[in-house]
A and B are shown apart, each in its own frame.
Chain A
Amino acid sequence: MSDQTNEAEADATRPAPPVDAPDVVEALETLPRRRDQLLPALIAAEHALGWLSEAAIEDVSVHTRIPLSEVYATATAYSELRLEPPVEGRWHVCTGVTCRQAGADALLDALAGSGESAEPVDCRFLCALAPVAERGGALFGRCEAQRLIALAVEDGDRS
């Protein structure tokens, strides 16, 4: 999907982006310099860095030639894009209708009570396996606090 005029215009000038996040720049280089690549570029930058830092957003702006303010406005409009660095090992516990009925609040309490970092999130679309939690991008279904805490301890021992 592309808007051809935009592409030609963008390719005419290729300023070098700020280089304080080399992985981000490298990831962006694979994408055409076009407006329609704005969301793919934000996603690629987030994958490369783990979140969208100010420098990464600037890189996206320079790469796509879309004004910085507009890139910010767009990045903040998507709930899945992270504008803060992720907390290592944090549990995201679904508190959607099904998961809450299946005990999500108690799960959050139990995790917090045993020193785990945990925060509520909206439906993860795995409602049939409620309650659902997510950690480091992996989804867990039919969650019981004890099992999650054991998993976290295992991971901690390994690293």
Chain B
Amino acid sequence: MTLDALRAAHPGFEGEVRVLVHGGTCGHAVGVAPHGGFLRQSAGDACAEAACDGACWAAPAATVLRPGHSHRFARLDETGVEPLLTCLAGSCDARADDRGEREHRGGLMSRLGRTDGTLAGALAAGAYEAAARALAMAPAEVIDAVEAMELTGRGGAHFPTGQKWCFATGGEPPVLVVNAEEGEPGVFKDRHMLEGDPHRVIEGMLIAAHATGATDACVYINGQARRARAAFEHALAEAAEAGILGGDALGAAVALTIEVRSGAGGYVCGEETVILNSIEGQRPVPRFKPPQITEAGLFGRPTLLNNVETLAAATLLFDPPAAPPKLVPLSGAVARPGLYEVAVDGQATWGSLLEAARGGAHAPPGVGSLLVGGPSGVFVAAEQFDEPLEMAALGAGGLVALAPGGEANVTLELARYNARESCGECTPCREGTVRLVELLEAPSLDRPKLDELIDVITEASLCQLGGMAGRPIASALATFPQAFSNGAAGAAE
């Protein structure tokens, strides 16, 4: 079969006008259902449910799509559906679109929540083109292309993806494990991708499997992300039915079996060796390295483990954006919290990202600082907002815009979180994270002791939960020393 034949066998919606009601986890949490029901009555078959398109701030929302016209109507709960119905009737001022010029819809988010969630819809929007091309190439060439696009791991550690794929080849075929645990507070990008464009994740998996010779895969999805799992499983079933998985619908035989597993919570459960232990039925604690998991991972087999976004980004390998894209879930003191796609091009700054999300003057009392990377992260002060974004500094991408003055309090909250989430497997973190909290709660700050403890935990912990637990504290002390003059708790009261 060819991609054209596959598309012909799955014709999409034929009409001229489409209304996509953005449901998904976001829409349903703010009561999209009655608006959707009403629109279905008005628009009939033209109306379909889509996932959140990343504009979480706009929910409950719906988008009208006409040839040459794409118009999202935000906050249906406040504005009602009248303006949308006017647009539907054909008379619409496109400039009224709430997206504005700054909202970037690059490669990664181009289909997110923009199709009706069917395979046909995804195919019409370009899904599986990259996989079909990759399958026609030699695996080594695919790895070269991934290396050339300089893709790095979007789970947060930013290890070069092409290099990782290379390490996983050469011996016994690896098992592919997809990290969809996404348990870092403040991060909601992989969920959006699984809900809003699950076929992109499958496509990325096909490319990785072809490049490395993997024939079986396991996708480990956060247990709370029920809609993400359901959407992904629906997409898997469609892909199997269409002969994409287990057939030759993309022009070459694909023999990749995919199992889906649910996690059951815990920040450390997103660490790669914890996932492997969890799947094997062992206690969810990290393993010692070496051996690296590319040598001996799941059930002792060579294992290729990638984050959802990494695999999704691999689908851009034939048409890589000029600057590497990063998904950035942004919440907090901005008028438009949601999922953003940033081109990390050396020009984009923290400030330009905040501006896109209508931070600062748009959202009083303004933004005093950004927390980047949650409980393992750092603070970026307002004075640094015009510094360019760097990929590695973004970690997994989670950003919280903090109102001025809350930093000491947040630092203490993060320290408490790390102490709660420490799995207890190694002493430096089990004991050290609790001591960090005690030191921060003390009426006056014992700086030498704190610095020493941070050094020990950073150096001696088994995994990076402990390894990075001191990071936000050190960053807060360096950036906002005055906030800690009476200890963090003093500021917090």
Contact = CB atoms under 8 A, between A and B. Distances in A.
Contact of B29 (A42, A64, A80, A126): A126
A141 to B, nearest CB: 4
Most buried by A among B175, B186, B269: B186
A141 B331 CA distance: 13
Given A101-B332, A126-B26, A79 B403 contact: no
Contacts of A66: 281
A43 B264 contact: yes
Interface string A39-77: 110110000000000000000000010100010011001
Contact of A124 (B224, B338, B417): B224
B222 A78 contact: no
A40 B265 contact: no
Interface residues on chain B, size class: 35 or more
Nearest to A141: B29
Contacts of B191: 125
A141 B27 CA distance: 9
Interface in A125-153: 125-130, 132, 139-142
A35 B421 CA distance: 25
A130 B402 CA distance: 13
Contacts of A125: 182, 185, 187-188, 191, 222, 224-225
Contacts of A40: 261-262
Given A77-B284, A77-B285, A128-B337, A97 B413 contact: yes
A141 B30 contact: yes
A1 B281 CA distance: 11
Interface in B51-90: 56-57, 59
A125 B228 CA distance: 12
A100 B413 contact: yes
Contacts of A80: 223-224, 263-266
A122 interface: yes
A3 B280 contact: yes
Interface string B21-61: 00001101110000000000000000000000000110100
Interface in B263-302: 263-266, 269, 278-285, 298-299
Contacts of A110: none
Nearest to A125: B188
Contact of B278 (A39, A101, A139, A141): A39
Given A97-B410, A127-B400, A129-B59, A78 B186 contact: no
A96 B406 contact: no
Contacts of B417: 122
A26 to B, nearest CB: 19
Contacts of B330: 128
A38 interface: yes
Contacts of A79: 264-266, 421
Nearest to A130: B331
Contacts of B400: 97-98, 101, 127
Contact of A128 (B57, B223, B280): B57
Given A128-B188, A128-B337, A98 B332 contact: yes
Contacts of A43: 223, 262, 264
Given A77-B283, A80-B224, A97-B374, A128 B299 contact: no
Interface string B303-347: 000000000000000000000000001111100011100000000
A101 B402 contact: yes
Nearest to B403: A101
Given A79-B264, A79-B265, A141-B29, A34 B188 contact: no
Interface of B: 25-26, 28-30, 56-57, 59, 175, 182, 185-188, 191, 216, 218, 222-225, 259, 261-266, 269, 278-285, 298-299, 329-333, 337-339, 371, 374, 400, 402-403, 406, 410, 413-414, 417, 420-421, 423
Given A39-B263, A97-B402, 6 more contacts: A1-B259, A70-B283, A101-B400, A125-B182, A125-B191, A128-B337
17 contacts: A1-B261, A1-B280, A35-B280, A39-B278, A39-B281, A79-B264, A79-B265, A80-B265, A96-B185, A125-B187, A125-B188, A125-B225, A126-B29, A128-B330, A128-B339, A129-B30, A129-B56
- A-B pairs with lowest CB-CB distance, top 10: A80-B265, A128-B56, A123-B185, A38-B281, A78-B264, A127-B331, A141-B29, A128-B337, A35-B281, A79-B265
